[in-house]
Amino acid sequence: MLALIDSVLGPITLPESPGRFVVFPNEHGLNAFFESYGVELRNDLVSDGRLNESIAINQGSFVLPIPYRYWPRTKPLEARISGDVGSVVLGWPGSVDLSWPPVSGIEALPLLQASESAVAEEAYFDVTPGEELQFAEASQGSRLMAVALTGPTHDTDSEGGSGAYRMVVVGDSDWLADFLLSRVPENLVLGLNLVDWLAQEDALASIRSKALSPRELIFSSSSHRNMVQYGSILGIPVIFVVVGGLRYARRRRMVAQVYTK
């Protein structure tokens, strides 16, 4: 079973606050069911100000990509399930956790993890892009975003033996939505690899993900990211202008120079 559980609903805009986006807690009522398998669904919203995907914002006649902390990039932890996928992007996700002590007979494997700069919010959720939010360093830390479970079933197979089930629980469903799949092809690869693992076709995961080897740029802050981004956009043209200006000035001096015998 592949369970995609949203901790929040939205985002939506409020009539009294046009231009701002908010999400609301999702009262799904599935906590007790998954707790019986040793999985706790957190009613929070995980964001990451350092490792995330950009979102396009209209600025007049221009469309500018800006970092969006509520689309955090997460790292797969179990290569034999996820394949060689380097990272995936979740959309407004919630975290999950493993209960302690673990449920007898169930093997739980951490599957996706947010970075050390991730934050789990549990209050009012304003998710408007472009907001510069400050969080205390103590509130930051890696968060578990998905788990894989295996355990024995009570049914018997055709040969009279007991079978085994497989389950994946992810604290988000938007990571397989079209708007993220078109931006992050690794999401689709991970989704297919999870289906293969659930169908006990584990060997296909490593084959499918060989073509994907993303190289993520990790920045220490949003200022660092902006400096690199705009430096790349403006720096190269400025270099050409400066070099061209120097060559032009040199040619002018050579033309103006008077040669005497």
Which tokens hold the place of 65?
Answer: 């990509």
Residues 150 and 199 in one domain: yes
- Which of the pair, 211 or 92, is modelled with greater confidence? 92
56 and 85 together in one domain: yes
Lowest-confidence segment of 15-29, 56-70, 156-170, 237-251 by average pLDDT: 156-170
Q: What percent of the chain has pLDDT over 70?
A: 85
Looking at the structure, do residues 132 and 13 belong to the same domain, yes or no?
yes
Instruction: Enter the tokens of residue 219.
Output: 């920045």
Are residues 199 and 257 part of one domain?
Answer: no
Q: What distance in Å separates the CA atoms of residue 125 and residue 75, rounded to the nearest whole number?
A: 24
- Same domain for 228 and 211: no
* pTM over 0.85, yes/no: no
Whether 205 and 255 map to the same domain: the answer is no
Residue 45 main-chain phi, psi, to 5 deg: -130, 115
* 135 and 247 together in one domain: no
Greater confidence (32 vs 227) lies with: 32
Bridge partners of 165?
Answer: 151
| Number of domains present in the structure of the chain | 2
User: Please, are residues 83 and 209 in contact by the beta-carbon 8 Å criterion?
Assistant: yes
- Asked if residue 258 and residue 160 are part of one domain, the reply reads no
The CB density around residue 106, as the number of other CB atoms within 10 Å, is 18
Angle at 53 (CA atoms; ends 181, 21), nearest 5 degrees: 90
Strands 45-48 and 118-121: antiparallel
Query: How distant, in Å, are the alpha carbons of 186, 225, 229, 230, 239 from that of 236?
Result: 30, 17, 12, 10, 5
The residue segments making up the domain with residue 48 are: 2-218
pLDDT tens readout for residues 65-115: 889 999 999 999 999 899 889 999 999 999 999 988 888 899 999 999 999
Indicate whether 113 and 155 sit together in one domain. Answer: yes
Q: Are residues 20 and 139 in the same domain?
A: yes
| In a shared domain, residues 79 and 165 | yes
Q: 103 with 231, same domain?
A: no
Q: What phi and psi values does residue 114 have, to the nearest 5 degrees? A: -80, 165
